[in-house]
Amino acid sequence: MPTKPRRCPVCRGEASATTLDSISGEEGALALTIRKMPVLQCAQGHKMFVHSDFPLLLLDHLLEQDEPQLPASEAKGLVFKHFHCSACGAELAGDASDKRTFHVAVELLEQPTFDVDLTVPVHRCPKCGHEQMHTLKETRNRTPAALAHAFKSAQIAHD
């Protein structure tokens, strides 16, 4: 049985599948860029998600599957946090002055794979040279807002 074509929530025109070249959002020290994300677009240029749950599924994918795989320092201390290298345990300097982009390939809802780049400040361990972001918790706390800013910048309508 053929599926009924989706209608644009703005103009009610028929929408067809396409991809967005690049959209970006920032929150604090986290910059997030999505490339080739699948969307639906009508003849008037209005964009919408391929599925109503797409933004939540992407957020869940990033928070639960992708970000935990990234190298992150370990916070120690009850009152005053000190950050230690996850590879060798050496104490890290307070400021993370360099930035690094971590690339993630995402596949959701049987759509073509698209790319997400997470750019965050990183520490370089003075002892072993291991590069790692400040903390996973900090990145995870900023991801929802950065993702929302990216969607807003692309003017994606939701139904």
pLDDT digits (tens, 9 = 90+) for 26-53: 999 999 999 999 999 999 999 999 999 9
- Are 33 and 26 spatial neighbours (Cβ–Cβ below 8 Å)? no
- Spatial contact of 58 and 108, defined as CB atoms under 8 Å apart: yes
- How does DSSP classify residue 6? P
> Which pLDDT score, from 0 to 100, does residue 79 have?
83
pLDDT cut 70: percent of the chain above it: 94
**Residue 6 and residue 23: Cα distance in Å, rounded?**
23
The pLDDT value recorded for residue 59 is: 97
Statement: the pTM of the whole predicted model exceeds 0.85: yes
Average pLDDT over residues 104-116: 95
Q: Measure the CA angle with vertex 14, ends 9 and 20; round to 5°.
A: 75
Closest CA to 145 of 57, 56, 26, 34: 26
Relative to beta strand 131-133, strand 114-124 is antiparallel
pLDDT digits (tens, 9 = 90+) for 57-96: 999 999 999 999 999 988 888 888 888 999 999 988 766 7
